[in-house]
Amino acid sequence: MNMEKTMQSSLFVDRSSKESRNGILFVMFAAGLWGLGPLFRILILDYINATQIVFIEHLMLCVYSVPVFWIHRKELSNLNWRDVGALLFLSWGGSVIATIMFTQAFATGNMNGVLLLQKLQPVFAIILARFVLKEFLPKGFVWFLLLAVAGTYLLTFGWSIPIGHVEEVLGTGSLLAVGAAFLWGGSTVMGRLLLNKMSYEMVTAMRFLLAVPLLIGLVMAEAPSWDVPTSAWGSIGISVGLQAFILGLLSIILYYRGLSTTKASYATFAELSFPMVGVVVNWLAFGQLISVAQIFGFVLIWIALYFITKQR
């Protein structure tokens, strides 16, 4: 009998470990898709601003959100006021304000400075996970964090010390990037909290659906110009559509699918696949070649992610 229980326990642990590793892979792939976002946003910022882009995206995503909300609406009865607050943080903070801030950061700041400061996201997520989710970190976790941060630093600035980038660190674009990093790091934690009571399909739907009223208010308050050349609407529609359904909907579904079996503090490491994809995009789209230092940064990040996926 004891041997049978031991075997069952071993199978459960192996299955749980495998699901956790698969979850991290889902998160890594989803975050990699996010790395393509700035490419599409930069192309249309000459015609509409960041708030308008995010507003159009969320209107398109209602095609998914409304039916899923109706099918899973009974899940809302399980929520308390703490969960409602987490939903609002996730939707208003992570889906609206952070996206606007990050998009605007690329329009007003240097891309390297923005990308470097966005790497603070794991720090925010790990701190919040410790206090909100009561997650205990395994031995050596801090060293994995330092290794990954060192890798992202090399991806951004190479071997040099960014003394000449002080304005990037203190400028408006960088402050926006830090704000976005905090909100996205917090959203990782809030999403993990909500997945204890809701399906990942419903969390995704609520993230997009609750954002629409706030975006309507922001657009009305800003009163931006919609005077766009008729010939430009086609490219705007394609760019925003790709962002909404591939970089937005598909990536978020994959993300919450992975997060449902992954600790928030682990998942935030997997999200560092974003800067790696960003470097490739800069190389292919803008002709910025990958240096030896950036390749070394890739290696450091992947080493950190590999050992994290081996943790149970």
Query: In this predicted structure, what is the pLDDT of residue 288?
Result: 67
Query: In this predicted structure, what is the pLDDT of residue 13?
Result: 45
Bin 140: left if φ > 0, else alpha if -120 < ψ < 50, else beta.
left
pLDDT interval class at 205 (50, 70, 90): very high
Per the model's pLDDT, the better-predicted residue between 82 and 285 turns out to be 82
What is the number of residues in the chain? 312
Percent of the chain with pLDDT over 90: 20
Q: Count the Cβ atoms, other than its own, within 10 Å of residue 249.
A: 20
Query: In this predicted structure, what is the pLDDT of residue 109?
Result: 60
Please choose, from the candidates 276, 145, 279, 259, the residue with its C-alpha nearest in 3D space to the C-alpha of residue 196.
Answer: 259
Q: What is this structure's pTM?
A: 0.73
- pLDDT, mean over the chain: 79
pLDDT interval class at 166 (50, 70, 90): low
Identify the three-state secondary structure at position 229.
coil
In the predicted model, is pLDDT for residue 91 greater than 70?
yes
Query: In this predicted structure, what is the pLDDT of residue 135?
Result: 72
Lowest mean pLDDT among 3-7, 160-164, 228-232: 3-7
Average pLDDT over residues 229-236: 87
